[in-house]
Each structure stands twice: as C-alpha cells, then as structure tokens.
Structure 1
Amino acid sequence: MYEIKDSKPFDTDEEDFDTVMASDISFTGNIRFSKPFMIKGKMNGTIEASSDLLIDTNAEVNADISTERVLVRGKVVGNIKGKKLVYVASTGSVIGDISSAQVVLEPGSVFSGKCSMSGM
C-alpha cells in the first residue's frame, strides 16, 4: 500500500468557510467570491474565485470552475481550472477537463476528461 502525503489539502470543516450553500439550495447563475466557499446543494452556471472552493459529498455542480484551490467530494460536470490545486476525493467525480499546478485523484474517485499540470 502507499500513503498519500498531504491528503487533507485545506480545512474542510463547515465553520472554516465564510459562505456555505446549503444542501436544500438549487442555484443557476454565476458565482464570484474571494473568501472560502462551500457548496452542499446543486449549482448550474460558472464559478470564478480567488479563494478555496469545496464541493461537498452530496453536491452536484454543472459549471466551469476557475479558482485557487478546489476540493471535489461531490459531482462536477464541467471544466476545472485550479491555480494551485485540484483535489478529487474518493467520493468525488469530475466529468470535464482539469488544469492546475497540482492535481490529486484519490483512489476511488472518478475522472473523465483531459488533465494538464503546469506551474500556472
């Protein structure tokens, strides 16, 4: 077996996030933010940020995403551009292209698309 270093890419407790989109919310549109944001519900549109984004376990996101760091525990359909990190947990799935300086796909995660890593 092998060990994944830094398997906790950033704080994941709900209280560590300035804004949390609750699980009973369904949103269509564009989201822009500059402080850590957590999605627990459903979202369609685009996401642009200069901070961290966590897509929680039961969240469903159909959007192109551009942010600093992204942790995917739920489902994403769309392209993800993470300036520093895109991390797909074992419960996460991404259908779309990923580009980032660092990409982590945990065993058990689902990914279908192209992946490019660069110093961005």
Structure 2
Amino acid sequence: MFNQEKKAKAPAEFSKEQNKIAPGTKVIGDIQAKGGFRIDGCVEGTVKTPGKVVIGKEGSVKGELECENADIEGKFTGKLNISGTLSLRSSALIEGEATVSKLAVEPGATFNATCAMRGGVKAIHHERGEGQQQEKSA
C-alpha cells in the first residue's frame, strides 16, 4: 500500500532518477528514459528524455538527442532538439543541426551546426517589422 501511494504522487512523464552511461561503455540503439542522463561513454542512436542530459568530457553521442536541457562537454554529432537551454562548455565539439530555445556557448567550444531558435525570436522579428514600418511612414 505504501508503494502505491508513492506511485500516485510521482509524475508520469518525469523521474528525478539519474541514468548514467559510464566511461568505456558503448550503447548502440535508441534510449528513452523518464529521468535525466549523464553520458561519459559512447552512444550511437537516439536519446529521448523529458529531463536534462549531460555529456561529459570523455562522452560522445552520434545520432539524435531530444531533451529539456543539455550540458555538453564532450562530442556530439547529429541532431539536437532541446526544448530549454543548450550549454556548450569550452571542451565541447558539436557537428550537425540544433533546435533550441536558449543557447550558451563558452569560449573554446566548437559549434559547427545549423541552429534554429524557437520561442522569443518571433516576437523580436515582429517588433523589428513594426519599427521599420513606423520609420518609413515618418
């Protein structure tokens, strides 16, 4: 009965549990989790979680990453789909495509990717468009 109460209180789509792929571990295939990830090994495939993903200095991911926030120190090649903030540390090496809401890049990071920002970008373009119309009419 006690376990049933805990299950009822826990949200269905997110878990506070942290998953870890240790150095020297190689995973080939798709991974779906309800909690966050720390990757210090190698992953080839798709990683999906509603939580945060950390790719350590020795970690690498080749494929697709879909999560809320990502903190990358290692290597990523493929497609990033981050609903929140993508933070690139100075040792990060990114190649591919990125769709993010916010982007933070430390000096020294390598970011060779096409990047699309979502969220507040539309409001900025709209404000600029109104400003240009006002200048022309003045």
Distance 1:34-1:81 versus aligned 2 partners, 3 A rule: same
Match of residue 47 from structure 1: 47
The structure richer in helix per residue is 2
Aligned ranges for residues 1-120 of structure 1 at < 5 Å? 18-119=18-119
Offset at 1:72?
A: 0.6
Aligned length: 105
Question: Which runs of structure 1 show a deviation greater than 6 angstroms over 4 or more consecutive aligned residues?
Answer: none
Q: What is the percentage of aligned positions where both structures have the same residue?
A: 22
Unaligned runs of 5+ in 2: 1-15, 121-138
Q: Distance in 1 between matches of 2:97 and 2:115?
A: 6
Unaligned runs of 5+ in 1: 1-15
The structure richer in strand per residue is 1
Offset at 1:104?
A: 1.1
Q: Distance in 1 between matches of 2:64 and 2:18?
A: 21
Q: Is the 8 A contact 1:17 1:38 kept in 2?
A: no
Match of residue 4 from structure 2: none
Question: Alignment partner of 1:90: what SS?
Answer: coil
- TM-score (structure 1 length as normaliser): 0.82
Bigger radius of gyration among the two: 2
- TM-score (structure 2 length as normaliser): 0.72
Distance 1:31-1:118 versus aligned 2 partners, 3 A rule: same
Q: CA RMSD in A?
A: 1.5
Distance 1:42-1:116 versus aligned 2 partners, 3 A rule: same
